[in-house]
Amino acid sequence: MKKSLITGITGQDGSYIADLLLEKGYDVYGMVRRNSTENFERIEHIRDSVKLVPGDLLDQMSLMKLIRDIQPDEIYNLAAQSFVPTSWNQPVFTGEATGIGVTRMLESIRYEKPDAKFYQASSSEMFGKVVEMPQSEKTPFYPRSPYGVAKAYGHFITVNYRESYDIFAVSGILFNHESPRRGKEFVTRKITDAAARIKFGIMDTLELGNLDAKRDWGYAGDYVRMMWLMLQQDKADDYVIGTGEAHSVREFVDLAFKNAGFEIRWNGEDLNERGIDKKSGKTLVKVSKKFFRPAEVNHLLANPAKAYEKLGWQPEVSFDKLVQMMVDGDIKRYEKLTK
């Protein structure tokens, strides 16, 4: 039985890769950091099948000990301070966890299990103010947030340990991927959660920031298959993962609210723009300055040709299906809560 160690198992991707590895018959260890209250909602359904072990990306010795004790064959480093706006408020913490944390993991592997295969969760945020469209493995980085800068460090240190110490270390440059398990602070889930709440009359208006930002949104369940595939190759290599299709936040809002039974008409401009329900005339969405960022990433679009060709990977869930799945998930949740 192969052993895997997942950091960030309590997060969206960690929970999906844990599902996948269990299905494949792995012995699954998940690293969890100490919190004042447990936050195991996303892994509640597999709680008895995975082994939760304590550790923190900020604490070198905890990582060393885990790798020494477990001797994992595969390590998925999904833990990070992953919310971009927080990275301006806590840039040093973000650098420590999201950037230097990767070096701590790699150092632990180097000393304790140098033949383990290592997956690093890199991000399309590294492309930031993009220098070409679409973005591939060859596109230079221009990060626009402390988070993007920390991820660029994590990417290059992964490549460096591969080249310096011959560690099987790969970097998956993943574009935005979402699911019903997505954190509610990210824009997609914020929208689907609000659409459901408004439907049940427990919220009136959703406030958003930049409606013109465009993202290449895919489904997290599809993307974790790719993480696993990258570690099954003979040669360690880096891949861009995305759908090759971008949509604006405004388009996401339109579709999410349509799935919840509303039809939005847009009115006004810039900070005065409103999303109004055609039927009732109520304002369902308004723009608020507080959700704009000091530096925005306007348009991300993947060129996943290398992953398609070399790994035979293709996403299975379309944009429309993804939005529908997320809205349905939130509606079902509020249905239960309001019964």
State how far the Cα of 163 lies from the Cα of 157, in Å rounded to an integer: 10
118 makes contact with ligand G4F (CB under 6 A): no
Site string for ligand NAP, 119-138 (x = CB under 6 A): --x-x---------------
For 247, the 3-state DSSP assignment is strand
Out of 10, 139, 192, 243, which residue is the one contacting ligand NAP (CB under 6 A)? 10
208 makes contact with ligand G4F (CB under 6 A): yes
Out of 43, 57, 75, 84, which residue is the one contacting ligand NAP (CB under 6 A)? 57
DSSP code per residue over 188-244 = HHHHHHHHHHHHTTS---EEES-TT-EE--EEHHHHHHHHHHHHTSSS---EEE--S
Give the type of residue at 19. Answer: D
State how far the Cα of 108 lies from the Cα of 197, in Å rounded to an integer: 45
176 makes contact with ligand NAP (CB under 6 A): yes
- Compute how many other C-beta atoms are within 10 angstroms of the C-beta atom of residue 268: 12
Give the type of residue at 282. Answer: K
104 makes contact with ligand NAP (CB under 6 A): no
- Pick what 218 binds: ligand NAP, ligand G4F, none; C-beta below 5 to 8 Å, kind-dependent: none
C-beta of 187 vs 230, nearer to ligand G4F: 187
For 6, the 3-state DSSP assignment is strand
87 makes contact with ligand G4F (CB under 6 A): no
241 makes contact with ligand NAP (CB under 6 A): no
Out of 88, 93, 142, 186, which residue is the one contacting ligand G4F (CB under 6 A)? 186
DSSP code per residue over 24-72 = TT-EEEEEE---SS---GGGGGGTTTSEEEE--TT-HHHHHHHHHHH--
Of 242, 248, 210, the residue nearest 313 (C-alpha): 242
Out of 2, 24, 39, 335, which residue is the one contacting ligand NAP (CB under 6 A)? 39
- Pick what 78 binds: ligand G4F, ligand NAP, none; C-beta below 5 to 8 Å, kind-dependent: ligand NAP
33 makes contact with ligand NAP (CB under 6 A): yes
Residues 92 and 141 sit within 8 Å (Cβ to Cβ): no
State how far the Cα of 64 lies from the Cα of 61, in Å rounded to an integer: 5
181 makes contact with ligand G4F (CB under 6 A): no
Q: CB under 6 A: which stretch of 17-25, 37-45, 117-125, 306-314 binds ligand G4F? A: 117-125
- Pick what 37 binds: ligand NAP, ligand G4F, none; C-beta below 5 to 8 Å, kind-dependent: none
Q: CB under 6 A: which stretch of 21-29, 56-64, 128-136, 294-302 binds ligand NAP? A: 56-64
247 makes contact with ligand NAP (CB under 6 A): no
Q: Which of residues 314-333 bind ligand G4F (CB under 6 A)?
A: none
State how far the Cα of 113 lies from the Cα of 70, in Å rounded to an integer: 9
Q: Which residues bind ligand NAP (CB under 6 A)?
A: 7-8, 10-14, 33, 35, 39, 56-58, 78-82, 97, 121, 123, 174, 176-177, 183
